[in-house]
């Protein structure tokens, strides 16, 4: 890492977190992000038919408007998920709404899906069409929408053919009513309408993968039901997990009581446990992406051994910068070799 970059990271960490995020996006757009190795033979893998040069992805929320996909791929991420995007642009919640919990290496956010809407998102995807790299579009629902399920269908219709996969995000805690879509009846209706839209859009072509992104605040009965419905309605996989509304006793930061979703270090243990339960509930038959608290190669490897075929991260980048993707990949290569595997896919679920 260059001294310049190191100093930049230190300066950014002293800013208000939302201003720091804006500065990071600007720097990335100017081409000032890190350039890293992306492909490692030991880490090349596949999930739901998507061929990844490495399994370490950028989680949704960092690039809400699909503006810095290529710089983040160049920084070493094996895939990038942009969004959440809602049909109409919206401002999100009043500021401050993003808090860095330095003592806990965690983040609390109640952004509330601030984004420029599907039209801007679509233009950004069109502008980079043809560039290499696996890209996901994470779909959300507008706060004032009375039929939230319809918003996901609108997102699929507007963007079909542009990203490599979609994510239906029904687990952000900052849009009233959104997480209720995880309840059995609402979920069944949602998945039914998503499947109908997908079949109409696909025609005879191969279908694009569609993942469901869930909260970590679920019990085993809910996990079993979500797994069963996901399989019934042909979902390509489940992303486990979004931020938590729980506040572990261990939190030390002054900001720990701020409302919103908690992510980063304090989410690692619970989100990995929930991931393991999804792997058990599906008996390994539905592809899983593990997210929540990954800050090292060892954390990523733990999620993979618990059943994830790929992983994603966001919060640890707030503390360690985007070059973290490459560091994690280098560490993963060592861990895979130390366990005597040729490829990381052999480690999926071995510790479930
Ligand atoms: C500031 C912030 C904004 C986020 N926005 C979104 C979002 O728009 N859509 C989404 O699905 N997840 C969003 N997330 C959740 C992350 O994608 C991820 O699931 C969660 O933070 C756990 O991973 P981490 O501990 O590596 O951050 C956001 C997270 C943060 C910290």
Per-residue pLDDT reduced to its tens digit, 172-186: 999 988 898 888 889
Of the candidates 172, 70, 165, which has an alpha carbon nearest to the alpha carbon of residue 124?
A: 70
- pLDDT attached to residue 206: 77
- Candidates 84, 145, 171, 172; catalytic one: 172
Looking at the chain, the whole-number percentage of residues with pLDDT higher than 70 is: 96
Give, using CA atoms, the residue closest to atom 29 of ligand 1. 61
How far, in Å, is the centroid of ligand 1 from the Cα of 108? 10
The answer, as to whether pTM is greater than 0.95, is yes
- pLDDT attached to residue 8: 57
| 172 in catalytic set | yes
How many other CB atoms are found less than 10 A from the CB of residue 19?
A: 12
Structure confidence by residue, pLDDT tens digits, 56-93: 999 999 999 999 999 999 999 999 999 999 999 999 99
Question: Domain boundaries in the chain?
Answer: 37-347
Looking at the chain, the whole-number percentage of residues with pLDDT higher than 90 is: 90
- pLDDT attached to residue 140: 97
Kindly indicate whether the domain formed by 37-347 is annotated with CATH number 3.20.20.70. yes
Could you give the count of Cα atoms lying within 13 Å of 100 in the half-sphere of its Cβ? 18
Give, using CA atoms, the residue closest to atom 5 of ligand 1. 61
How many other CB atoms are found less than 10 A from the CB of residue 345?
A: 18
- pLDDT attached to residue 217: 95
Partner residues linked to 168 by β-bridges: 139, 212
């Amino acid at each position: 890492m260059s001294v310049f970059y190191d100093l930049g990271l230190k300066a950014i960490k002293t800013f208000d977190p939302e201003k720091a995020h804006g500065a990071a996006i600007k720097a990335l757009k100017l081409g000032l992000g890190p350039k890293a190795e992306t492909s490692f033979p030991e880490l090349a893998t596949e999930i739901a038919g998507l061929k990844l040069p490495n399994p370490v992805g950028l989680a949704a929320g960092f690039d809400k408007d699909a503006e810095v996909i290529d710089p983040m791929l160049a920084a070493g991420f094996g895939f990038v998920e942009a969004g959440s995007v809602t049909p109409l642009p919206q401002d999100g919640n009043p500021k401050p709404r993003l808090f860095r919990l330095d003592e806990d290496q965690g983040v609390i956010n109640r952004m509330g899906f601030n984004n420029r809407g599907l039209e801007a998102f679509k233009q950004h995807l069109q502008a980079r069409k043809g560039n290499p790299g696996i890209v996901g579009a994470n779909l959300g629902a507008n706060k004032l929408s009375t039929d939230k399920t319809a918003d996901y269908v609108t997102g699929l219709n507007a963007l079909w053919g542009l990203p490599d996969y979609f994510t239906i995000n029904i687990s952000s805690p900052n849009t009233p009513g959104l997480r209720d879509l995880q309840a059995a009846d609402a979920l069944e209706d949602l998945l039914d309408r998503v499947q109908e839209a997908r079949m109409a859009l696909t025609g005879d072509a191969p279908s694009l993968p569609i993942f469901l992104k869930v909260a970590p605040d679920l019990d085993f009965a809910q996990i079993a039901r979500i797994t069963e419905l996901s399989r019934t309605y042909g979902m390509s996989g489940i992303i486990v997990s979004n931020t938590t509304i729980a506040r572990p006793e261990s939190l030390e930061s002054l900001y720990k009581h701020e409302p919103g979703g908690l992510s980063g270090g304090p989410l690692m243990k619970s989100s990995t446990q929930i991931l393991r339960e999804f792997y058990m509930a599906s008996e390994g038959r539905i592809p899983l992406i593990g997210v929540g608290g990954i800050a090292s190669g060892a954390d990523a490897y733990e999620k993979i051994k618990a059943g994830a075929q790929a992983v994603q991260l966001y919060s640890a980048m707030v503390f360690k910068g985007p070059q973290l993707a490459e560091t994690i990949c280098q560490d993963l290569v060592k861990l895979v070799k130390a366990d005597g595997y040729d490829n990381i896919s052999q480690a999926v679920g071995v510790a479930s």
